[in-house]
């Protein structure tokens, strides 16, 4: 490195040019490997601006570089590289990057060059910052360090953890997943920012120090005393406008804080710096102690995530040598595509000749979680319910309990795979492959999206500490798609969900018990390569039919190929989606597949299974697909999720963890075909009722 820098001593213009090329490369690295994030460019741009006004890059060539400077530069390279990789580029782990990305020779070469450039830049900046420790800026280190430590600790560690711990019941991950990186980032940012900002010119330094001190005090006052108008988690509706008196009082408080801090030197004179340092230390110490107390008083779920229920997947390909009701669910497969295929490629359905395909099917809901729980658990929508109440209303209802009890009495093993139930305990006693541990066991994290979590919580932290006026100006309320499900776990249930993987292992075995199997597969759910996934779905159907025929259980089996919902809406207009429902009853033999346009509903599912399973009085479990004929006028209600900006944000817990994507349902009442609602915009049609969600339903 020294040899490289020695080449620049006599060429300062070339040195500056190389420095800015490295800065530009650092600024744009996020574009090379990850999704674009504008805020990741702020740090390198700050370095570039500082270099412009302080002769930053050339300074190392104008001074004697001693051994202690080099050692310090190497030490400072560590936090700098951490900031480069973790914050600017967004790499938690370079190994993970190569595992998740398929890099060709060119991309690999670019990646290696980027890492080398970052290393050179980190050492170069480290050399300059080392002068801050040994030169004229040494006296400023404590004061600037105290105010920077207070500011970064509040925004980087305290507020995100405060939001996390205060709402722990809504998260399915622990602080162990992220706290180590947060501490490293806080330390790295505090050290680097302190050493950078102490170098500001003498005339500007007092202004900068007072401004930062005022921001620290103002942020503390804001989130401690002035955020009472913010709802849950410190968020608010993006379009919310504060009442004028509230806005004026809040703005006035901030003005008073800034004026007081800037006028304080005239009153305190030479004691101002000591007073300011003391205030910073007190605020920093308060937050450290407060955070320690939060951890001491926090529930155990902050530190460990435990599970007591899981679905055993060992019999995913196990069927009965006697009677079967086999349900294969292809996620998001829409009737529009299936019917179009039937009209253009009839031979594709030759192996499905004994089946009936219902072409006018409606699901009550347009998402997997809601739809599956509705037609398997009888969870009909009630806007007064939150998610847990809604699930309980269906799974704990007399009808649902009686249905699964009757299936068991009829000798059926009821197994579910990749089943979308948010709180597994509701399926206890219904599905036989639901396992309950004697004591909850800790779940092991497989993937934790640290950078996504950091971005969302950092925005939340900054938003909480902002004055209301700035909140309004920047509308930094988080995108409604924020707070995604950050973590996935290594589950005991390793049910195969992917179509290709299911095909690769599709070899059925038999047991003597009757079998009712519900198997949810990826189907054609976006994002996917639609054509090959559609082909995989058909191949799964063909394989099942062929194997059942070869095993001699085809005639005794009810086979249902269906979808949990149709295609999702795109934009504000209804998709008019219709899930596929294709069924073969025991003992049925035909020359070709039957297309039936009867108005069936996925709420007919349990009744249909009851009929084919031979249960007594199947009508007690509701209607079946056999109760309706083509041309019947039947009222069916479809709830499609949407986001209404005039309604408040709602939240969800459980399977969906945190989602802000939806806050309402558009309620469509269908009496004819499902396609009748396609293209209807509920915001422009007064006949469509928009129902606010109490809690996010997917």
- 582-603 confidence digits (pLDDT tens): 999 999 999 999 999 999 999 9
Q: Which residues pair with 414 in a beta bridge?
A: 516
| Mean pLDDT in residue range 622-639 | 96
Residue 477 has pLDDT above 90, yes or no: no
Cα(128)–Cα(198) distance, integer angstroms = 12
Domains in the chain: boundaries: 1-134, 139-304+450-483, 309-449+484-692
**Tens-digit pLDDT profile for residues 295-315:** 999 988 888 877 788 899 999
| Mean pLDDT in residue range 424-445 | 86
**CATH class held by domain 309-449+484-692:** alpha beta
| Mean pLDDT in residue range 86-90 | 68
Give the pLDDT band (50/70/90) at residue 490: low
Joined tokens for residue 66: 């001693």
| Mean pLDDT in residue range 240-251 | 78
pLDDT at 31: 63
pLDDT at 260: 96
pLDDT at 615: 96
Average pLDDT value over all residues in the chain: 86
Say if residues 397 and 376 touch (Cβ distance below 8 Å): no
User: How far from 144 is each of 140, 293, 327, 421, 672, CA to CA, in Å?
Assistant: 6, 27, 66, 52, 71
pLDDT: which is higher, 197 or 442: 197
pLDDT at 452: 73
pLDDT at 37: 58
Alpha-carbon 130 to chain mean position: 41
pLDDT at 437: 85
Residue 660 has pLDDT above 60, yes or no: no
Give the pLDDT band (50/70/90) at residue 242: low
Residue of 415, 413, 358 whose CA lies nearest to 596: 358
pLDDT at 485: 57
Residue 278 has pLDDT above 90, yes or no: yes
Residue 521 has pLDDT above 80, yes or no: yes
User: pTM value?
Assistant: 0.70
| Mean pLDDT in residue range 625-640 | 95
Residue 479 has pLDDT above 70, yes or no: no
Residue 659 has pLDDT above 70, yes or no: no
Residue 621 has pLDDT above 70, yes or no: yes
Q: Tell me if the bond preceding 323 is cis, omega within 30° of 0.
A: no
pLDDT at 80: 87
pLDDT at 657: 41
| Mean pLDDT in residue range 555-583 | 93
Residue 34 has pLDDT above 90, yes or no: no
pLDDT at 132: 81
pLDDT at 480: 45
Residue 284 has pLDDT above 70, yes or no: yes
Across 484-588, the runs of DSSP E, i.e. the strands, are: 487-490, 509-511, 514-521, 557-562, 581-584
In which element (H, E) is residue 637 found?
A: strand 636-642
Cα(605)–Cα(698) distance, integer angstroms = 21
Joined tokens for residue 639: 């709830």
Cα(346)–Cα(335) distance, integer angstroms = 15
Joined tokens for residue 585: 């009853």
Residue 245 has pLDDT above 90, yes or no: no
Contacts of 602-607 spanning 24+ positions with Cβ under 8 A:
602/361, 602/362, 602/363, 602/364, 602/371, 602/374, 602/375, 602/562, 602/564, 603/364, 603/374, 603/375, 603/378, 603/380, 605/375, 605/376, 606/375, 606/376, 606/378, 606/399, 606/400, 606/403
pLDDT at 483: 54
Residue 666 has pLDDT above 80, yes or no: yes
| Mean pLDDT in residue range 422-448 | 84
Residue 429 has pLDDT above 70, yes or no: yes
Cα(404)–Cα(155) distance, integer angstroms = 51
pLDDT at 101: 52
Residue 658 has pLDDT above 60, yes or no: no
Say if residues 327 and 509 touch (Cβ distance below 8 Å): no
pLDDT: which is higher, 491 or 159: 159
User: How far from 387 is each of 81, 294, 431, 551, 648, CA to CA, in Å?
Assistant: 44, 28, 21, 42, 17
Q: What percent of the chain has pLDDT over 90?
A: 52
Give the pLDDT band (50/70/90) at residue 237: very low
**Tens-digit pLDDT profile for residues 529-561:** 999 999 999 999 999 999 999 999 999 999 999
Residue 97 has pLDDT above 60, yes or no: no
Give the pLDDT band (50/70/90) at residue 239: very low
């Amino acid at each position: 490195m020294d040899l490289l820098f020695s080449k620049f001593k006599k060429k300062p213009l070339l040195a500056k040019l190389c420095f800015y090329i490295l800065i530009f490369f650092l600024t744009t690295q996020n574009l090379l490997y990850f999704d674009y994030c504008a805020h990741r460019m702020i740090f390198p741009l700050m370095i570039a601006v500082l270099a412009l006004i302080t002769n930053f890059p050339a300074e190392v060539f104008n001074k004697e570089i001693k051994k202690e400077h080099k050692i310090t530069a190497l030490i400072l390279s560590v936090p700098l590289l951490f900031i480069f990789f973790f914050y600017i580029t967004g790499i938690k782990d370079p190994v993970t990057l190569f595992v998740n990305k398929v890099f060709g020779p060119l991309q690999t070469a670019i990646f290696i060059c980027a890492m080398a450039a970052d290393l050179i830049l980190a050492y170069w900046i480290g050399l300059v910052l080392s002068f801050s420790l040994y030169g004229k800026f040494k006296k400023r280190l404590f004061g600037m360090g105290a105010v920077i430590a207070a500011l970064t600790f509040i925004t980087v560690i305290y507020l995100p953890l405060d939001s996390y711990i205060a709402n722990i019941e809504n998260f399915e991950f622990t602080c162990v997943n992220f706290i180590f990186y947060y501490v490293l980032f806080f330390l790295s940012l505090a050290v680097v920012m302190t050493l950078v900002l102490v170098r500001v010119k003498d005339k500007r330094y007092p202004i900068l120090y007072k401004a930062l001190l005022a921001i620290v005090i103002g942020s503390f006052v804001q989130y401690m005393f002035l955020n009472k108008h913010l709802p849950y988690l410190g968020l608010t509706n993006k379009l919310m406008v504060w009442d004028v008196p509230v806005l004026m009082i809040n703005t006035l408080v901030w003005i008073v804080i800034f004026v007081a801090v800037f006028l304080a030197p005239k009153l305190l004179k030479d004691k101002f710096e000591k007073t300011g340092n003391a205030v910073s230390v007190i605020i920093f110490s308060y937050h450290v102690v407060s955070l320690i107390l939060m951890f001491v008083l926090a529930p155990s779920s902050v530190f460990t995530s435990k599970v007591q229920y899981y679905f055993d997947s060992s019999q995913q390909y196990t069927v009965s040598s006697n009677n079967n009701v086999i349900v294969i669910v292809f996620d998001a497969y829409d009737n529009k595509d299936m019917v179009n295929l039937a009209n253009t490629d009839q031979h594709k359905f030759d192996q499905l000749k004994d089946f009936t395909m219902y072409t006018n099917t409606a699901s009550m809901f347009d998402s997997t979680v809601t739809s599956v729980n509705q037609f398997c658990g009888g969870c009909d929508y009630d806007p007064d319910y939150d998610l847990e109440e809604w699930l309980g209303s269906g799974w704990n209802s007399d009808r649902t309990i009686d249905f699964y009890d009757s299936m068991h009495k009829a000798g059926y093993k009821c197994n579910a795979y990749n089943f979308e139930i948010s709180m597994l305990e509701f399926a206890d006693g219904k599905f036989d492959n639901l396992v309950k541990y004697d004591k909850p066991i800790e779940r092991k994290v497989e993937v934790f999206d640290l950078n996504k979590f950091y971005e969302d919580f950092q925005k939340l932290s900054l938003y909480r500490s902002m004055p209301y006026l700035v909140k309004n100006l920047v509308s930094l309320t988080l995108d409604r798609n924020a707070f995604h499900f950050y973590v996935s776990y290594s589950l005991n249930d390793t049910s195969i969900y992917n179509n290709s993987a299911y095909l690769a292992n599709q070899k059925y075995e038999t047991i003597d018990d009757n079998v009712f199997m519900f198997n949810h597969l990826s189907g054609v759910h976006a994002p996917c390569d639609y054509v090959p996934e559609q082909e995989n779905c058909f191949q799964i159907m063909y394989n099942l039919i062929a194997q059942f025929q070869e095993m001699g259980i085809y005639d005794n089996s009810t086979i249902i190929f269906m979808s949990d919902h149709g295609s999702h809406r795109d934009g504000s207009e209804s998709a008019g989606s219709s899930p596929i429902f294709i069924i073969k009853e025991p003992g049925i033999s035909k020359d070709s597949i039957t297309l039936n346009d009867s108005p069936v509903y996925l709420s007919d599912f349990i009744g249909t299974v009851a009929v084919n399973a031979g249960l007594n009085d199947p009508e007690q479990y509701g209607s079946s697909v056999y109760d309706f004929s083509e041309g019947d006028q039947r009222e069916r209600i479809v709830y499609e999720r949407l986001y209404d900006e005039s309604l408040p944000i709602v939240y969800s817990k459980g399977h969906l963890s945190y989602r802000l994507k939806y806050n309402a349902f558009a309620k469509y009442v269908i009496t004819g075909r499902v396609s009748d609602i396609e293209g209807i915009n509920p915001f422009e049609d007064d006949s469509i009722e928009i129902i606010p969600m109490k809690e996010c339903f997917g």
